[in-house]
A and B are shown apart, each in its own frame.
Chain A
Amino acid sequence: MKRILRLRHWPLWTVFLLVGLALILPFVLPWSHEQIDWDAVRAPAFTGSHIFGTDDIGRDRLARLMAGTQITVMVAVAAALVSLVIGIAWGATAGWIGGRVDEAMMRFVDALYALPFMFIVILLMVIFGRSILLVFVGIGLVEWLTMARVVRGQVMALKERPFILAAEAAGAPPLAIILRHILPNIAGVALAYLMLTIPQVVMVESFLSFLGLGVQEPLTSLGILVKEGADDMDMAPLGLFLPGGVLVLILVCLTIEGERLRDVYS
């Protein structure tokens, strides 16, 4: 814990601060993200209680920004967890069994890497309706590949270590060995790649929402806000800069922190 508090972890603090604000501010602000203030349509910043002004139909920008950040972060964490679970299960199985099974499973991952998976996800969204649940699952399904590769490599290396051989010799069942001995040892690396997966997921979610294929109104997300801001940027550049800035800040901070963590563990 003490290590996290150091100054060099400013990216992590920034993200925590943003997420904290996004969680708390909606309870404090006098406006909700979909409430229209008919007396202050297109209000500039610091008009009355609208700190960042209002958008083209009179909704409070700060309230929308916080609601959007909330949804984006929520989708990101959920989808990253989906990818973590699939990635660890796939990678650990392949690495543990080895041989032909491993080869087949990893070929499959290689093949998926080369696919326009993003477009299949879009196809799914179009066909099965654009529910937020599908956004989680769809993104999770796309982003587990790297995790699977990394976990497999780690498991392969661990498998030959004496303490694993000892556990095997003692007659522990494979599942118990994987859960008790292997997983704790790959937790650090998995955490590093989880942290690198989150910005990827944020990117995909905002991409889908930007195109109108992801999160749907009345919910909002940073991608939707960027889209709204871009459509109205000649009138109110703030509408683009606020969500765009928050999005880029989150992405940059998590990437920096994730890469540091990865370098520590590799």
Chain B
Amino acid sequence: MLALVARRLLTAIPTLLGIILVSFVLMKLAPGGPFDGERPLAPETRAALQSAYGLDRPIWEQAWIYVSRLVQGDFGPSLVYRDFTVTELVAQGLPVSLTLGGLAVILAMLVGVSLGLLAAIRAGQATDKAIMMLATVATALPTFVTGPALALFLGLWLGLLLVSGRGDGVAWLIMPVTALALPVAGAIAKLTRAGLASVLKQDHIRTARARGLPESRILLRHGLRPSLVPVASYLGPAAAGLLTGAVVVETVFGLPGLGRYFVQGALNRDYPLVLGVVTIYAALIILFNLFADLIYGWLDPRMRES
């Protein structure tokens, strides 16, 4: 188990490095630079600025400096938020994004697995069809539509929740987390339903039934666990989806998360900020995939060795 984690983390390093380098080179290819203001700078000033930021060195050397600083936790200065370093912005944004994403995964798992279970128990009946229809609709709901729609209903019309910002308490989490979780919950419900339907036809379930085990025990202990394997393998891609979703809900609800910095950075051409956030996102996705693999191994012991 530990060996697996260590090996996976080691293979993650070149992947992460690759992403950073590709993004870095793309950034350097960009036309225009941070010093192209309204008035052209005097050549001496420009040269001084470029050497101060190390921009006059060859690109591979710049990349090396960037990566070696990154390892020490230094993402460089933000070009737009002049008073902050990218590290500070990331440190502010990350907890917000992690809270949103983490809660959304948990909510989606709870809702999705229960609905999928219910649908599988009532396979072929009206309940099953209704749940599956609902799940299909939910998977097709983009966060940038559900987010504003929720804000309009619950915030503006019913006046229950704050439309923007955080306020006191945890109520600010309700709408963004719901908007994020809906499509994931739909997909999980479908996967659980499909997984359980095929597992329930297998021999070990028939054996359990023949031994006279109570139906609830058969479903929860012998049926559900193997049928969650496809759900676990969906969690990796879902993480990428949640991060893009988080970009939207943070923008819609005015939350100071990573996603909002990313969009602001992208619109303002604040390259160090964009690069920093991409790096963090890549690391998060890799970590989440590892986590999903561990769950995978726990659900299906046959997968542990390979």
| A125: B residues at CB distance < 8 A | 266
Across the interface, do A127 and B30 meet the contact criterion of CB distance under 8 Å? yes
Please count how many residues in chain A sit with their CB below 8 Å of the partner chain's CB atoms: 42
Q: Is B240 an interface residue (CB 8 A)?
A: yes
A29 in the interface (beta carbon within 8 A): no
Contacts of B22 in A (CB 8 A): 120
Given known A124-B26, A252-B136, contact A226–B152 (CB-CB < 8 A): no
List 28 A-B residue pairs with CB atoms under 8 Å apart, sorted by A's residue number. A113-B237, A114-B285, A115-B19, A115-B240, A116-B240, A116-B243, A119-B244, A119-B281, A120-B278, A122-B266, A122-B274, A123-B266, A127-B26, A127-B27, A128-B30, A203-B142, A211-B248, A211-B263, A230-B144, A230-B148, A240-B145, A240-B152, A241-B149, A244-B145, A244-B149, A248-B140, A251-B140, A255-B139
Please give, as numbers and ranges, the residues of chain B lying within 8 Å of A240 by CB-CB distance. 145, 148-149, 152
Task: Say whether, besides A210-B248, A211-B247, A117 and B148 are in contact (CB < 8 Å).
Answer: no
Residues of B within 8 A of A251 (CB): 140-142
Number of A-B contacts (CB under 8 A): 122
Q: Are A211 and B251 in contact (CB under 8 A)?
A: yes
Note all chain B residues with C-beta closer than 8 A to A68. Answer: none
Min C-beta distance of A144 to chain B, whole Å: 14
Docked Cα-Cα span, A259 to B244, in Å, equals 24
Query: Given the complex, which residues of B lie within 8 Å of A53, measured CB to CB?
Result: none
Which residue of A213, A223, A233 has the most chain B CB atoms within 10 A of its CB atom? A233
Cα–Cα distance between A119 and B243 once the two chains are bound (Å): 10
Q: Is A247 in the interface zone, CB < 8 Å from B? A: yes
Q: Is the CB of A115 within 8 A of B237?
A: no
Interface check A87, CB cutoff 8 A: no
Fill in one digit per residue for A241-266: 1 if any B CB lies within 8 Å of its CB, else 0. Answer: 10010011001100110010000000
Q: A126-B266, A226-B148, A252-B136 are in contact. List 16 more A-B contacts (CB 8 A).
A: A117-B240, A118-B240, A119-B262, A120-B19, A126-B30, A203-B142, A207-B142, A211-B251, A212-B263, A212-B267, A230-B151, A237-B152, A240-B145, A240-B152, A247-B142, A256-B136
Query: B166 at the A/B interface (Cβ < 8 Å)?
Result: no
Does the CB pair B252–A116 fall under 8 Å?
Answer: no
If the complex has contacts A114-B286, A233-B156, are A226 and B236 also in contact, measured as CB distance less than 8 A? no
* Of listed A113, A126, A227, A240, residue having the most chain B CB within 10 A: A126
Closest Cβ of chain A to B296, distance in Å, is 14
Closest to B270 in A: A126
**Least CB distance, A125 to chain B, in whole angstroms:** 8
**What is B's interface to A at a CB cutoff of 8 Å?**
15, 19, 22-23, 26-27, 29-31, 136-137, 139-142, 144-145, 147-149, 151-152, 156, 236-237, 240, 243-244, 247-248, 251-252, 262-263, 266-267, 269, 274, 277-278, 281-282, 285-286, 289
Closest to B288 in A: A114
Answer yes or no: A199 CB below 8 A from chain B CBs. yes
Q: Which of B29, B236, B244, B282 contacts A113 (CB 8 A)?
A: B236
Interface string of A118-148 (1 = CB under 8 A from B): 1110111111100000000000000000000
In the bound complex, residues from chain B placing their C-beta under 8 Å from that of A116 are: 19, 240, 243, 278, 281-282, 285
Given contacts A212-B267, A259-B136, contact A233 B27 (CB under 8 A): no
A115 to B243, CA, bound (A): 11
Cα separation A247 to B278 with both chains bound (whole Å): 28
Whether B144 pairs with A120 at a CB distance below 8 angstroms is: no
A207 and B244 contact, Cβ closer than 8 Å, known pairs A119-B278, A244-B149, A255-B136: yes
User: Which residues of B are found within 8 Å of A252, using beta-carbon distances?
Assistant: 136-137, 140
What is the bound-complex CA distance between A223 and B145, given in angstroms? 9
B137 touches A213 (CB 8 A): no
The reply to whether A206 and B140 contact each other, CB–CB distance below 8 Å, is no
Cα distance, A121 to B247, chains bound together (Å): 14
- The reply on A111 being an interface residue by CB < 8 A is yes
CB–CB A255/B140 < 8 A:
yes
Q: Considering the complex, which residues of chain A in the window 120-178 have a beta carbon less than 8 Å from any beta carbon of chain B?
A: 120, 122-128
Tell me if A95 is interfacial: C-beta within 8 Å of chain B: no
A234 lies within 8 A of chain B by Cβ: yes
Q: What's the nearest-Cβ distance from chain A to residue B181, in Å?
A: 16
* Chain B residues near A223 (CB-CB < 8 A): 144
Report whether B266 and A248 are in contact in the complex, using a CB–CB cutoff of 8 Å: no
**Chain A residues near B147 (CB, 8 Å)?**
230
